[in-house]
Structure 1
Amino acid sequence: MQVGYAFGMTWPQVMLNASFPFCFQRFFQKVSDIFYLAGIITFGMQRLRLTLLVLLTMVFTTCGQPNHETLFTEINSVLNTHGSLSAIIARNTLEEAILAVMLKVEETKQRAKDHTIVDPKITLAFEEADSMASTLNVPALSIWTNTQIGFYYYSMSYLQEAFPYFLKSSQAMSSTAPATLIAPSDCYTKNGYFFGNIGDHLHAITYLNQALLLADSSAFAQLHFAIGGEYSALEEYDKAEEHYLTAKELAEDIDPVRYAKVLGELAFLAMRSADFPSAEALLLEDIHLSRLHHADRNLMFAQIRLAHLYVDTQQWEAAQALLGEAEAYTRNKANLSGFYAEVLQLKLAVAHALHDTVAQLELYPKLQEVQNRLKNTDGENAVMKVNLALQRSKAERDALVHATKLQRSKMNVFVLTGTCLLLLVMAILLFRSKKQALKLQHVKFERSLFRFQLDKMKSEKKYESAQQTIQAYLTFLKERNTAIAELKGVVADLSRSNSADAVERKERLEQLLDEHLMTEENWQRFKTTFIKEYGSFYAKITAMLPHLTESQLRIVLLQKLGLNNHGMANLLGVGQESIKKAKQRLRKRYGDQYDQVFVEV
């Protein structure tokens, strides 16, 4: 059974989406509505829904859903040969509706083929197709439709818009046999591309390997190339090279553009090993083949990568020549904004090396504009938001799948022990209530944890992007203190429980709490900024309080900024008593000199 009920569906709706036959669905809906109203008055809503579910299960267990195998075989044959879906003859109204949805999606994809920005008309057409597919209750169709729509947004670099569609398709694929899918290799491949792009590389490798099992041999080079990219992202470079070499061998005589792309990735591995001559030779061949076969996008990518090599090896003029052409290609294409930003960054590096102040002044505002635009599409912030949403969705789905499996187990027992119907229903209700409470508690905890992590990242990012001043650092410390205090409160609440879950959650929060403390890197950055703004005070310290340890110096500098013992204790990860004793030792060692150092003359 699918887990749709946890997303706001009623038990009757779950049944309509489960294993019951198409011929009984309308009948089931009518009966469920009648029993639902009666249950509110007599047995209670939840009890009656479960009773009705069990009774209907016993009636319809021997029936199945409509079989679309013949239709899907014809569809897959047409898609594999790039034929027209309009040539397929439907056998009933449901098949007509399935083909209508697919034709609408294919026609919309064709209209959007050469677009570089999201078109509202295209978006509306896809939304209509998605709405049509969702009403038909055909999982394979929904998977295919969501994958195609998601891939449209992905190709436009709108990751947040693509995410809901790929999330729905991936969740449905996890409970659907590959052989029953529409264009299974295409669906697995596109899901693999998306999840790899947002950083879920293991998930991507699983999908791409599944696609490799289902694909035609003509797609083997493409898939090995993609799998190599995922292993490279995981820094498993030996496995990455193995797949790249396989793709190179497969593509050499049949797909020169793919062959060129493989050369570019092998060049990246050579650059990692500081084998710059080999990397340069590979990239030059990549550029030659891409230009020869009019693969403009790959040409741009190879030029940028070779420009990186030239910048690393200080060949400034060579880098400039490549970047000029790459900039011309990426400048006015919204879906290539990330590459355009990379080109501008490289040009800035070259201008800085050549002391070209005019070029730097011209490039800085352009880069800032592009980076601001990327924040809402495929930039680092967007990827981070999508990845956090994915992790949250996984946690919720794991809990839902676990609850669903338990329900199935209880239902099977219920069917076999019909004489104990009433007692078993009551037991299941109590069990479900407890599980639901635990599940909600778990989800709430996971969401809180994600929020703490996200707030920490935002605070660090805001400080890194702000002007490095003591005032900025004070704001940063204030936010850290607030987060630490909140985390300590949650840890204190969990400490009152000895359950395994509470202990595990407490350990995770304590780990996060440790990450909020002042690290050595933060301390050195703070110390540098302090000396810059309070140089005279720092000189005064070294003169009046000689031979201070680093830990003592931290207390002195934080006291100068007005932090109390509580604030210092939070940031340094010690108790307030430790701060008090440290100050007492300082007064004992330096006498009046310690207090006088804070007196402004």
Structure 2
Amino acid sequence: MPNNIKKTKTLFIVLIFTFFSKSYSQTLSIPVHDSYRSIEEIVLQEIDFQNDSIRLKKFLAPLQQSSSKKYNILYYALLANGYSSYFDKINSKSDKYFLLSIQKAKDINDIPLVVWTEMNYSKYLYHYRNMDKLIPTLLKTIENAENIKPEKMILPGETFKIFGWIMTTIDDNDLSLKFLKKSLEYSKTNTPEYASILNAIGTHYLKTDKLSTAMHYFNKTIAVSLQIGDNIRYAKALGDKALIYEKRGDYKTALQLLEKDIDYSKKYKDEKNNMYALILMAKILLKNQDTSKATIFLQKAEKIALSKSYYNNSLKDIIELKLDILNGSYPEKELLLRRELKRIDDSLLKTDGENALRKANWFVQKTKYENELKEAQKQNRQEIKTKNIYAIIVILAVLLSVSILIIFKKRLKNSSLEYDKKITRYKIEKISFENKLKAANQDLDSNIEFLHNKNIQISKLKLELEQIKKSPSYYLEEEKGKLQELLDSHLMTDENWNNFKREFKKEYGPFYETLMTDYPELKDSNLKIIILQKLRFSNSEIASLLGITTDAVKKSKQRLKKKLGEKQHQLFEIIDMP
């Protein structure tokens, strides 16, 4: 018996020694020449050591010890990535080494390396949703990337993919598709990278309600994923297909796909995708009035969401769904949930803290100025005791007050002039678009272009209104209301609609006749949404043109489907037909 114990101990020690020997034997292969393709070769060797920073530094040591400045830069960039994995959040060490890698790339004026280091930093900021730092960094990176040919970039496929992902997140759909398609062009087929880009393009079309095109890309993603054995990407594509079926009202198929998604995500330990699938499953179950099952899935999702601070967006979705389930039946529980929701909302606002930072900076400068003024007054009181000096101080104070008043009035005047200039500029743009429409004989294409231009103007005006609300010049809009008046003037009028409908009937006569003949129950408000959808306007674009919310457009469609019953499928089939 003692011999058996001794043998077991010996075997255990040998196994431990073997494990650590293999673990620490991992080395980074360094090419002799530091060309951009050699840099790619190094980057592709990157390993996630998670919470083992010693192995990380040992692995990257050849880069630090190299005489190549480019390889030294890679050392800091990959070390920053390692610390990101180690802390699994925004952290000072990662920030330090990301910024150091960027600065050193700038010091040697290597633009491709600058683009890659900035992209690497952007990916980190995007992962942890630090949008305040991300957007200015990303815009600088895109600007630098546009100054070099893609062939000279380091990993152009991944770089364009990151650009596309972020633009999709912030709803810049045109730029997201542009970058994702460029990414596809510079990525090898039948690779995990290629599958992820296909999936991202599908997500783009899903967000813009082009469901058939989205389905095409998700199916291509699944085909590539199965071919190369990328089970995680396969699971994600199944979940994305479920979103399409959910939009189409086929909840049964959506739930079946999500069950597979969850099984694969659990099996291959992708907690983030598992969480998303669980939340979506709960949403669909709630639509089916199955609150008990929905509650179970939400509990599972919540367990994952609470594990990471950067899952707060998902945690917010979970709490809102829980409130939908309670629906006023348990006031005490709802109160606790609403408090938690408020806390999460506050924490999410901190990631977009541009205004907060400006306010803090202004407060620091103001306090500094006040302290300096107090110190000067103290010294003056000690040194100057005569009435004449006090009189001079009073005079200076008066002059200062007058100067401040003059400056303040000048600023008010400048603000008013700037406000009026903006209004004039937008009015000129509006007149220009209207004149172009008249000059183009008001055919359907020119009407569509006109509506797209209106959407652009509406978006600009909404942004102006939001910005002016946060500025000291908001009183101008409250007094004059010219921005809101101009925004309202861009909404589709009866005259615009009649002209547009006339040209539409010329181009889509049979479709319009079918609507009038087969669907007499359609109101004019329904026709507006149907015709705009037929012309591939998104829900948000339709909402802007009609002066309603996106939710109102969606609810209008839902009410129409309910009203039409079985006829809804025929209607939406002919709408989706080219």
Taking structure 1 as the reference length, what is the TM-score of the superposition?
Answer: 0.53
**2:166 is equivalent to residue 191 of structure 1:** no
- Given candidates 272, 287, 295, the residue that maps to 1:320 is 295
CA contact (8 A) 1:227 1:243 kept: yes
After superposition, residues 30-45 of structure 1 pair within 5 angstroms as none
Residue in structure 2 matched with residue 243 of structure 1 by the alignment: 217
CA contact (8 A) 2:84 2:94 kept: yes
Q: Take 1:460 and 1:445, find their aligned partners in 2: how far apart are those partners?
A: 15
**2:109 is equivalent to residue 137 of structure 1:** yes
After superposition, residues 412-491 of structure 1 pair within 5 angstroms as 453-454=462-463, 456-457=465-466, 481-485=478-482, 487=483
The 1:447–1:342 alpha-carbon spacing in structure 2 relative to 1, beyond 3 Å, is farther
* Structure 1 residues 10-37: Cα deviation after superposition (integer angstroms, max 9, x where no partner): xxxxxxxxxxxxxxxxxxxxxxxxxxxx
CA contact (8 A) 1:480 1:516 kept: no
CA contact (8 A) 1:228 1:239 kept: yes
**2:177 is equivalent to residue 205 of structure 1:** yes
CA contact (8 A) 1:186 1:211 kept: yes
- Given candidates 319, 322, 325, the residue that maps to 1:350 is 325
Residue in structure 1 matched with residue 368 of structure 2 by the alignment: none
Aligned-pair distance for 1:252? 2.1
Q: Take 2:319 and 2:264, find their aligned partners in 1: how far apart are those partners?
A: 25
Aligned-pair distance for 1:116? 3.8
* Structure 1 residues 358-417: Cα deviation after superposition (integer angstroms, max 9, x where no partner): 3212211001110111123279x99xxxxxxxxxxxxxxxxxxxxxxxxxxxxxxxxxxx
- Given candidates 273, 281, 294, the residue that maps to 2:269 is 294
Residue in structure 2 matched with residue 73 of structure 1 by the alignment: 37
CA contact (8 A) 2:64 2:75 kept: no
CA contact (8 A) 1:116 1:334 kept: no
- Given candidates 117, 121, 124, the residue that maps to 2:93 is 121
Moved over 4 A (4+): 81-91, 444-452, 458-461, 477-480
Aligned-pair distance for 1:100? 1.2
Residue in structure 2 matched with residue 168 of structure 1 by the alignment: 140
Aligned-pair distance for 1:114? 4.3
CA contact (8 A) 1:228 1:241 kept: yes
After superposition, residues 47-86 of structure 1 pair within 5 angstroms as 71-82=35-46
Residue in structure 2 matched with residue 402 of structure 1 by the alignment: none
SS in 1 for 2:481: helix
CA contact (8 A) 2:168 2:204 kept: yes
Residue in structure 2 matched with residue 338 of structure 1 by the alignment: 313
Q: Take 1:79 and 1:478, find their aligned partners in 2: how far apart are those partners?
A: 54
* Structure 1 residues 24-73: Cα deviation after superposition (integer angstroms, max 9, x where no partner): xxxxxxxxxxxxxxxxxxxxxxxxxxxxxxxxxxxxxxxxxxxx996112
Aligned-pair distance for 1:78? 2.8
CA contact (8 A) 1:75 1:85 kept: no
Aligned-pair distance for 1:510? 7.0
Query: Which consecutive unaligned segments of at least 5 residues does structure 1 have?
Result: 1-67, 383-440, 462-476, 488-508, 518-601
Q: Take 1:177 and 1:117, find their aligned partners in 2: how far apart are those partners?
A: 33
The 1:275–1:212 alpha-carbon spacing in structure 2 relative to 1, beyond 3 Å, is same
- Given candidates 295, 304, 308, the residue that maps to 2:279 is 304
Query: Which consecutive unaligned segments of at least 5 residues does structure 2 have?
Result: 1-31, 48-58, 357-417, 427-458, 493-578
Taking structure 2 as the reference length, what is the TM-score of the superposition?
Answer: 0.55
Q: Take 1:81 and 1:447, find their aligned partners in 2: how far apart are those partners?
A: 57
Residue in structure 2 matched with residue 284 of structure 1 by the alignment: 259
The 1:481–1:446 alpha-carbon spacing in structure 2 relative to 1, beyond 3 Å, is closer
Aligned residues: 351
Q: CA RMSD in A?
A: 3.6
Deviates more, 1:153-162 or 1:231-240: 231-240
CA contact (8 A) 2:177 2:201 kept: yes
* Structure 1 residues 510-563: Cα deviation after superposition (integer angstroms, max 9, x where no partner): 74363699xxxxxxxxxxxxxxxxxxxxxxxxxxxxxxxxxxxxxxxxxxxxxx
* Structure with higher RCO (Cα < 8 A, 6+ apart): 1
Q: Which amino acid aligns with 1:258?
A: R
